[in-house]
Amino acid sequence: MERLKARSRRRAHGGAWVPAAVLAALVLLSTVLYRSAPPTAHWNSIGIVQFPYWAGLPAEQLSPPVSYLYWLVGLPAAFAVIAWWYRRRARQTGFRVAWRLFAAVGLGALLVLVVLLAVPTEPPADPYAAHIDVGLRWGSGFATPLIAVAASLVALAWVERAPMLAAAGGWLALLAWWQGATRYGQLPYWLYRLFDGGQPIGLGGQTDLPVPGMLALMCLPLLVWVVLAAVRSRAARA
């Protein structure tokens, strides 16, 4: 009986890799929103990097309005595709998943971001001062639609009972927040020391990883989970 229940659970949650893959693709495709020039580490509103980071990362965007539309249209469109797939799967297998919950979390997080960033703020007296202070800016780390994607993944993990998927979503959220809270390419002290073997000071060091590489690094645990989950799903159907 226990083996039968376990097999039923695997079949019921065996399709979680599909919505996870859709969200991963949305993040990776966002690389088209950035300029192909080498990454820059400049702060804010008047320089090369524009705030908020509608493209996702604090790097030079091709067009902030296009980045805004990409996520404002792309994330709901991704959830529409996911909803269609879950309904189709429910008709074929008879298993239903509470996909509306994680879709609501993702869209809600995106809506909160849009509302909060719509609130006008006073520019600094000296706008160039933003380039001097490279300390942690906690709030700026959340000014990215990547946080909404990460929240969606964590909610999906809860719905699909997939703790490793939650960890992948947490990794995406952590890197997205860190890049926005410091500046593009900034590595924390412990990670820089691990790679460099030196004695960095302050927040750590810098990496010259281009935007596509950074997005791939952010999605790496997610992609590994998607592949493994897809293989397990195929094996369960065999």
| C-alpha to C-alpha distance for 158 and 176, rounded to whole angstroms | 21
pLDDT at 219 over 90: yes
Q: pLDDT band at 98, cuts 50/70/90?
A: confident
pLDDT at 108 over 70: yes
Beta strands in the chain (DSSP E): 186-188, 204-206
Q: pLDDT value at position 79?
A: 95
Mean predicted confidence (pLDDT) in 82-98: 83
204 forms bridges with which residues in the sheet? 188
Mean predicted confidence (pLDDT) in 169-191: 81
Q: Select the more confidently predicted residue: 95 or 210.
A: 210
Q: pLDDT value at position 29?
A: 97
pLDDT at 221 over 80: yes
Q: pLDDT band at 229, cuts 50/70/90?
A: very high
Q: Is the Cβ–Cβ distance between 26 and 76 less than 8 Å?
A: no
| C-alpha to C-alpha distance for 33 and 29, rounded to whole angstroms | 8
| Cβ atoms < 10 Å from Cβ of 227 | 12
| C-alpha to C-alpha distance for 174 and 179, rounded to whole angstroms | 9
Domain that holds residue 148: 2-237
Give the number of domains in the chain.
Answer: 1
pLDDT at 17 over 60: yes
Q: Which candidate, 157, 173, 176, places its Cα nearest to that of 165? A: 157
Q: pLDDT value at position 126?
A: 42
In this structure, which amino acid lies at residue 220?
A: L
pLDDT at 80 over 80: yes
Q: pLDDT value at position 30?
A: 96
Q: Is the Cβ–Cβ distance between 156 and 20 less than 8 Å?
A: yes
61 forms bridges with which residues in the sheet? 34
